[in-house]
Amino acid sequence: MEQQVLKVDHITQQFGGLSALKDINMELNRGEIVGVIGPNGAGKTTLFNVITGVYKPTKGMVFIDGKNGTGKKPFEITKMGFARTFQNIRLFPRMTILENVMMGAYCRTSANVFQIIADTPKKKKEHIRIRERALELLKMMGLYEYRYELPTSLPYGEQRRLEIARALATEPMVLLLDEPAAGMNDQETEDLRKIILMLKQEGYTILLIEHDMKFVMNICERIYVLDHGELIAQGKPEEVNSDPKVIEAYLGKDED
């Protein structure tokens, strides 16, 4: 088992004339909670998209658990042990909450996602195992009682928790969370903080994009700061917090 689960090695991502990421280096070690912060348009989500294979980087390499993950497809990255949630929640609106979580698991199995019919004993056994695990994850996220409802029936904060449950169903070693506290009220944010700390206890490694500085400062051991596609600072929360470049990047923008 590698200690380093992610290495982003001189990554540049160009969109036409725009450099969304410029020569970014970063590392993630097993068991860490690491934050990625930065103003709107800094390149945070693009970084996740490069890591998870949504974009093939213009330059540079991504190493996943010591293996080359550069330019791999999203489902391959999932199989390599990385799961993510999305900034704009992406749930299956016509499936129940339970089925949404089960879909996460099916990407790990031999079963065809479009044909979840348990027509052989082996598939049936697998289906039962996946269902049990999905129910367990729903309990863990406090969503068990809603399992037969549609995700749209849930308040925003709980939809985000459902996305985390679905990500966990892929049996990841690393969780990438893109603004998991966005749109949450104080209570929901506090619940989420507890969930993330519990996930760390369980051995997951977590990379977290967040706008809410207080949330990141509270929970992350290390932080990377992006601004205009550049890595302008990195370090412990208190170091980053007092870094003049970071203060300028945040104060220079009219937001929050």
Ligand X SMILES: Nc1ncnc2c1ncn2[C@@H]1O[C@H](COP(=O)(O)OP(=O)(O)OP(=O)(O)O)[C@@H](O)[C@H]1O
Q: How far is the CB of 94 from ligand X (least distance, A)?
A: 27
Partner touching 46 among Mg ion, ligand X, none, CB below 5 to 8 Å by kind: ligand X
Partner touching 205 among Mg ion, ligand X, none, CB below 5 to 8 Å by kind: none
**Interface segment toward ligand X; rule CB under 6 A; list 15-23, 68-76, 90-98, 153-161:** 15-23
**Interface segment toward ligand X; rule CB under 6 A; list 40-48, 90-98, 128-136, 238-246:** 40-48
Q: Is 242 in the site for ligand X (CB under 6 A)?
A: no
Q: Is 45 in the site for Mg ion (CB under 5 A)?
A: yes
Q: Is 15 in the site for ligand X (CB under 6 A)?
A: yes
Q: Is 49 in the site for Mg ion (CB under 5 A)?
A: no
Q: What is the 3-state secondary structure (H, E, C) of the chain?
A: CCCEEEEEEEEEEEECCEEEEEEEEEEEECCCEEEEECCCCCCHHHHHHHHCCCCCCCEEEEEECCEECCCCCHHHHHHCCEEECCCCCCCCCCCCHHHHHHHHHHCCCCCCCCCCCCCCHHHHHHHHHHHHHHHHHHHHCCCHHHCCCCHHHCCHHHHHHHHHHHHHCCCCCEEEEECCCCCCCHHHHHHHHHHHHHHHHCCCEEEEECCCHHHHHHHCCEEEEEECCEEEEEECHHHHHCCHHHHHHHHCCCCC
Q: Which of 8, 20, 111, 219 binds ligand X (CB under 6 A)?
A: 20
Phi–psi pair at 209, nearest 5 degrees: -90, 135
Q: What would the x/- binding string for Mg ion be over residues 83 to 122, using CB under 5 A? A: ----x-----------------------------------
**Interface segment toward ligand X; rule CB under 6 A; list 41-49, 96-104, 110-118, 142-150:** 41-49
Q: Which of 29, 31, 41, 58 binds ligand X (CB under 6 A)?
A: 41
Residues forming contacts to ligand X in the complex (CB under 6 A) are 15, 18, 20, 38, 40-46, 87
Report the interface residues with Mg ion, using CB under 5 A. 44-45, 87
